[in-house]
């Protein structure tokens, strides 16, 4: 397979952070290359001498600002609107010379970056996908029915006459188009912040971890809980929750019998006995949050945690790296740490940590 770049989606406006992350981590792996992007494009290209090696060295689960990670096979410009299919098939044949092909692919996603400029391409992506699928199946590049064991083929439209052809491995990519899980706001949720914790549980924990680490009867704490969005998510997972906030909670949480509300400062309160979980979405300086979260794990006040770090307006990659290093150092124990800027996050990242 001939791949010429790593292609990553991100939140529009955070392209410099993702570019800095890819550049630094590639260098730490001893791989050369450079990032190329445009502000608010929702997309970063990383061009290097060995894109496949870079992809192996940087699994999606290790990246913070990437929603999706693809291997680019071709950059197709000046496409004729009357026939975009022929150049795509030709590019596939060029990417797999000498019969060295892993296809047929198991699925096809026709997408566009999640940016204001690219959103008008959604209609084109849908209609073109309907035309391209049967053509690729006829040419032998796509299985007759979805096969999740095989690589996935992506066509990423940047304009009506400009598309990128890429592929992803199902074990090292987001399972959602554009890397965005489509979650519905539940009518009983006290706030939209509930979607952040729901996405974190879905994204930062795998199926086995969700089954083992979130069980009925466990106990947890929500620091800075009001009005109760994260408390509500934990309660729905079967936990009994102590909600810490001087502000009020929604009454139906208190009526559930699973929530105890303590009017206290989330940065000062500590549990009388170890808890299974602590979650925190307090608006505070990220280094202060990182230090307090580390204290919880170091002192054994909780076994697992999910928390948010609110990032500054400048040098956000530097601050992210500093806060995560500070958190790990001050916890003073081996930790499994995963961090991601979620779709429902804004100027923040979400962190999951548990002892190794």
> In this predicted structure, what is the pLDDT of residue 101?
55
Residue 325 in tokens: 């290093």
Residue 227 has pLDDT above 70, yes or no: yes
Q: Is 314 a catalytic residue?
A: no
The SS3 assignment for 249 reads: coil
Average pLDDT, the chain: 94
Residue 353 has pLDDT above 60, yes or no: yes
Residue 49 has pLDDT above 80, yes or no: no
What is the fold, at CATH topology level, of the domain defined by 194-355?
Rossmann fold (3.40.50)
pLDDT in tens, 282-326: 999 999 999 999 999 999 999 999 999 999 999 999 999 999 999
Query: Model pTM?
Result: 0.93
CB 201 within 8 A of CB 210: yes
> In this predicted structure, what is the pLDDT of residue 97?
78
315-341: average pLDDT = 97
165-191: average pLDDT = 94
Where in the chain are the domains? 5-179, 194-355
Residue 103 has pLDDT above 70, yes or no: no
259-269: average pLDDT = 96
List the binding residues: 193, 226-229, 245, 265, 281
Q: Which residue in the list 82, 196, 310, 333 is annotated as catalytic?
A: 310
Class (C level, CATH) for 5-179: alpha beta
Strand partners, 6: 46, 71
List the binding residues for S-adenosyl-L-methionine: 193, 226-229, 245, 265, 281
Percent of the chain with pLDDT over 90: 91
CA 30, CA 28: separation in Å to the nearest integer? 5
């Amino acid at each position: 397979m001939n791949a010429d770049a790593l292609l990553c989606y991100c939140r529009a406006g955070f392209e410099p952070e993702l570019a800095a992350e890819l550049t630094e981590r590639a260098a730490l792996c001893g791989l050369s290359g450079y990032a190329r992007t445009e502000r608010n494009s929702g997309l970063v290209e990383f061009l290097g001498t060995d894109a496949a090696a870079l992809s192996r060295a940087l699994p999606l689960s290790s990246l913070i600002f990437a929603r999706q990670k693809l291997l680019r096979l071709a950059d197709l410009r000046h496409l004729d609107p009357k026939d975009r299919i022929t150049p795509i098939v030709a590019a596939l044949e060029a990417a797999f010379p000498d019969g060295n092909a892993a296809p047929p692919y198991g699925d096809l996603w026709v997408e566009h970056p999640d940016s204001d400029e690219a959103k008008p391409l959604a209609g084109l992506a849908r209609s073109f996908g309907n035309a391209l699928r049967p053509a690729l199946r006829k040419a032998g590049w796509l299985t007759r029915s979805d096969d999740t064991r095989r690589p996935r083929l992506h066509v990423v439209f940047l304009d009506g006459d400009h598309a990128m052809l890429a592929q992803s491995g199902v074990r090292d990519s987001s399972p959602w188009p554009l890397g965005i899980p489509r979650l519905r706001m539940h009518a009983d949720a006290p706030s939209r912040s509930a979607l952040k914790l729901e996405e974190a549980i879905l994204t930062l924990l795998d199926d086995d971890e969700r089954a083992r680490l979130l069980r009925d009867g466990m106990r947890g704490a929500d620091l800075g809980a009001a009005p109760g969005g994260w408390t509500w998510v934990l309660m729905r997972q079967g936990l009994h929750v102590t909600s810490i906030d001087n502000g009020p909670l929604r009454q139906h949480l208190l009526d559930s019998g699973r929530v105890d509300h303590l009017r206290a400062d989330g940065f000062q309160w500590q549990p009388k006995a170890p808890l299974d979980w602590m979650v925190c979405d307090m608006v505070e300086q990220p280094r202060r949050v990182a230090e307090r979260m580390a204290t919880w794990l170091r002192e054994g006040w909780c076994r697992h945690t999910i928390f948010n770090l609110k990032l500054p307006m400048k040098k956000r990659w530097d601050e992210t790296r500093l806060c995560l290093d500070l958190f790990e150092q001050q916890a003073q124990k081996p930790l499994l740490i995963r961090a991601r800027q979620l779709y429902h996050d804004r100027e923040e990242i979400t962190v999951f940590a548990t002892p190794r």
